[in-house]
């Protein structure tokens, strides 16, 4: 999933946004597909917000028996969707605690690894803690499958990054 903020709800808008001619949905899909290298524009989903995009992804990809581990700082709407899916679809839900700065602690990462997730989708706005935690997870048998960064807040050190880690399969001879 790639989230692009169109500044629709912000007060301050760049001149390029203010003066841009309105695009039809088909034009917007086509332009986004071209920008992102998506062959079929019908595979581009336009949403009203990042929260709606996350909800659609959860509903599309989670299946009964899947185990979702989220931080206690997750957004309210995401919590509501996950709790609904836990009650109605058999999705298992666990939480991870964070410190007062919103950072996962070493023992929390260890507890998460002991739960045995096959895939971890790690969303971070701090490259330093992301690098630290990926190193810990790689030492515990996970590999980085894909990474997508988005600079939602220019001119600051924070970069939203979504990283998919998968559990490496050990070879048996």
Number of neighbours of residue 82 by Cβ within 10 angstroms: 20
Residue 59 falls within a domain, yes or no? no
Judged by DSSP in three states, 46 sits in coil
How many folded domains does the chain comprise? 2
pLDDT of residue 3: 47
DSSP of 132-172: HHHHHHHHTTEEEEEEEEE-SSTTSS--EEEEEEEEPPPP-
Report CA Rg, the chain. Answer: 18
CATH code where residue 160 lies: 3.40.50.150
Query: Tokens representing 88?
Result: 């109605």
Domain boundaries, position 127: 101-173
pLDDT of residue 69: 79
Write down the pTM of the prediction. Answer: 0.62
Average pLDDT of the chain, as a whole number? 80
Residue 77 falls within a domain, yes or no? no
42, 106: one domain: no
Whether residue 44 is predicted with pLDDT greater than 90 in this model: the reply is no
What is d(CA 52, CA 105) in angstroms, rounded to the nearest whole number?
Answer: 29
Q: Are the C-beta atoms of 117 and 167 separated by less than 8 Å?
A: yes
Per-residue pLDDT of 69-105, as tens digits, reads 787 777 788 888 889 999 998 888 888 888 877 778 8
Per-residue pLDDT of 111-152, as tens digits, reads 889 988 888 888 787 888 889 999 999 999 999 998 887 776
Residue 117 falls within a domain, yes or no? yes
Whether residue 37 is predicted with pLDDT greater than 80 in this model: the reply is yes
The last residue of one of the domains, among 24, 46, 68, is 46
Residue 106 falls within a domain, yes or no? yes
Q: What angle do CA 62, 86, 90 make, to 5 degrees?
A: 70
Residue 86 falls within a domain, yes or no? no
Residue 58 falls within a domain, yes or no? no
Residue 6 falls within a domain, yes or no? yes
Q: Are the C-beta atoms of 115 and 67 separated by less than 8 Å?
A: yes
Sequence-distant (≥ 6) Cβ neighbours of residue 1 within 8 angstroms: 53, 54, 57, 162
Q: What count of residues does the chain have?
A: 173
Across the beta sheet with 142-150, what order do the strands follow?
119-124, 160-167, 142-150
Q: What angle do CA 18, 20, 25 make, to 5 degrees?
A: 120
Q: Are the C-beta atoms of 91 and 79 separated by less than 8 Å?
A: no
């Amino acid at each position: 999933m790639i989230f692009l903020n169109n500044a629709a709800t912000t007060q301050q808008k760049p001149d390029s946004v203010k003066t841009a001619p309105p695009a039809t949905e088909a034009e917007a899909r086509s332009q986004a597909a071209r920008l992102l290298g998506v062959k079929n524009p019908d595979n581009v989903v336009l949403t009203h917000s990042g929260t709606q995009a996350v909800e659609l992804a959860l509903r599309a990809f989670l299946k009964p028996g899947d185990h979702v581990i989220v931080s206690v700082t997750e957004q309210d709407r995401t919590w509501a969707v996950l709790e609904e899916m836990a009650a109605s679809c058999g999705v298992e839900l666990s939480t991870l605690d964070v410190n007062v700065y919103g950072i996962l602690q070493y023992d929390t990462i260890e507890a998460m690894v002991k739960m045995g997730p096959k895939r971890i989708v790690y969303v971070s706005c701090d490259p330093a803690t992301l690098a630290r935690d990926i190193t810990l997870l790689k030492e515990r048998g996970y590999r980085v499958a894909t990474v997508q960064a988005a600079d939602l807040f220019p001119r600051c050190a924070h970069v939203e990054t979504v990283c998919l880690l998968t559990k490496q399969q050990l070879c048996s001879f």
